[in-house]
């Protein structure tokens, strides 16, 4: 993996019940490129990418890739390149890991993940459906290559549907595919589209929401091949002031790729 695809592994140290992995993120990281249009923020999914990379290098990593996430919290915005430390500790079950991610000594994120065999092999199905006339770049601050949602398929109060096509300029691309964990970002960007659309309708544009957590997620696929078309659907399940919780579902054809409940916060 080259550093410009996302991050580079610097060091890996095994301990009795886990491991510590150190990654460098440069200003040239693809995660920074277009995330966002006016302000550089390293996305939470970039840190989750480090977790999936590290978990695959644990003794239990042979059990498979990350298939579940639980109680993930992104505690601070990452606005600069730097050296991240991912600490993994074995959970109660053999296939569970808790993780903590720090940057220059500050805790940035933590949570738990599980590994296993995903439900679905590398999918081949393509997702059709007509796009609606809506410019997503008017609604969200993400820009290519980090704008992972291409077009809107539907938008109404409390619900949005978008389409993504996996491109070879997505982060973490390797041998013609990207890790399934990037579906968290396609779902998050779909939620961002919904927030932007609703705020435009309410004529309350301004402010920006950030992904602050993942209550739970299930990943049914390990890799997404370049060219795969993905349908992302999100629905609002809770909203209070600038805080909102969304249920998200990513599919291709009739095949479920990922289900997630994500949390976003727009500082008042």
Partner 1 sequence: VDFADDDIVGFVHKEQRMRQDEVLELIRQYFLDEFEIAPERVVPEARLFDDLELDSIDALDMVGMLESKLDIDVEESALKGIRTVGDVVEYILEKAP
| Interface with partner 1 (CB under 8 A), residue from 103, 212, 214, 250 | 212
CB of 241 to partner 1, least distance (A): 8
Parallel/antiparallel/unpaired status of strands 159-165 and 229-240: antiparallel
In the stretch 245-264, what mask flags binding to partner 1 with x, by CB under 8 A?
Answer: x-----------------x-
Cα–Cα distance for residue pair 23/11, rounded to 1 Å: 7
Q: Does 235 bind partner 1 (CB under 8 A)?
A: no
The H or E element spanning position 25 is strand 18-25
Cβ closest to partner 1, residue 149 vs residue 214: 214
* CA 228 centroid distance within chain: 17
Instruction: Using alpha carbons, select from 6, 9, 25, 5 the residue that is nearest to residue 81.
Output: 25
Scanning 16-24, 115-123, 224-232, 240-248 for contacts with partner 1 by CB under 8 A, the matching segment is: 240-248
Cα–Cα distance for residue pair 255/268, rounded to 1 Å: 38
Scanning 25-33, 116-124, 171-179, 237-245 for contacts with partner 1 by CB under 8 A, the matching segment is: 237-245
The angle formed by the CA atoms of residues 38, 172 and 28, to the nearest 5 degrees, is: 45
CB of 202 to partner 1, least distance (A): 19
Cβ closest to partner 1, residue 72 vs residue 148: 72
CB of 113 to partner 1, least distance (A): 15
Q: How many residues bind partner 1 (CB under 8 A)?
A: 12
Q: Does 215 bind partner 1 (CB under 8 A)?
A: yes
| Interface with partner 1 (CB under 8 A), residue from 73, 199, 218, 229 | 73
Give every CB contact of residue 203 below 8 A, 6+ residues apart in sequence: none
Q: Does 240 bind partner 1 (CB under 8 A)?
A: yes
Cα–Cα distance for residue pair 266/237, rounded to 1 Å: 16
Which residues pair with residue 259 across a beta bridge? 218, 249
Q: Does 217 bind partner 1 (CB under 8 A)?
A: no
Scanning 10-18, 22-30, 207-215, 221-229 for contacts with partner 1 by CB under 8 A, the matching segment is: 207-215
Count the Cβ atoms, other than its own, within 10 Å of residue 221. 24
Phi, psi angles (nearest 5°) of residue 120: -120, 140
* CA 81 centroid distance within chain: 18
Cβ closest to partner 1, residue 113 vs residue 212: 212
Scanning 23-31, 177-185, 238-246, 252-260 for contacts with partner 1 by CB under 8 A, the matching segment is: 238-246
Residue 72 near residue 111 (C-beta atoms within 8 A)? yes
| Interface with partner 1 (CB under 8 A), residue from 8, 255, 256, 265 | 265
Count the Cβ atoms, other than its own, within 10 Å of residue 250. 29
Chain positions contacting partner 1, by CB under 8 A? 71, 73, 212-213, 215, 238, 240-241, 243, 245, 263, 265
């Amino acid at each position: 993996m080259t550093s410009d695809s996302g991050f580079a592994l610097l060091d890996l140290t095994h301990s009795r019940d886990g491991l510590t992995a150190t990654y460098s993120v440069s200003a040239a990281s693809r995660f920074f490129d277009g995330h966002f249009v006016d302000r550089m923020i390293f996305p939470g999914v970039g840190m989750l990418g480090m977790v999936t990379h590290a978990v695959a290098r644990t003794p239990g990593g042979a059990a498979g890739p990350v298939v579940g996430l639980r109680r993930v919290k992104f505690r601070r915005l990452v606005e600069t390149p730097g050296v991240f430390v991912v600490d993994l500790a074995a959970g109660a079950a053999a296939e569970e890991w808790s993780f903590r991610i720090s940057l220059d000594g500050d805790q940035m994120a933590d949570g738990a993940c599980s590994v296993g065999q995903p439900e679905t092999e590398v999918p081949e199905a393509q997702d059709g459906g007509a796009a609606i006339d809506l410019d997503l770049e008017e609604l969200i601050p993400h820009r290519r290559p980090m704008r992972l949602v291409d077009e809107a398929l539907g938008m109404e109060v409390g619900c949005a549907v978008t389409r993504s096509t996996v491109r070879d300029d997505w982060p973490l691309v390797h041998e013609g595919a990207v890790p399934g964990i990037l579906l968290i970002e396609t779902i998050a960007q779909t939620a961002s589209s919904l927030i932007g659309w609703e705020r435009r309708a309410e004529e309350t544009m301004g402010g920006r929401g950030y992904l602050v957590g993942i209550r739970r997620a299930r990943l049914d696929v390990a890799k997404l091949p370049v060219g795969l078309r993905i349908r992302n659907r999100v629905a609002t399940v809770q909203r209070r002031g600038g805080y909102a919780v969304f249920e998200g579902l990513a599919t291709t054809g009739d095949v479920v790729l990922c289900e997630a409940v994500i949390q976003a916060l727009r500082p008042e």
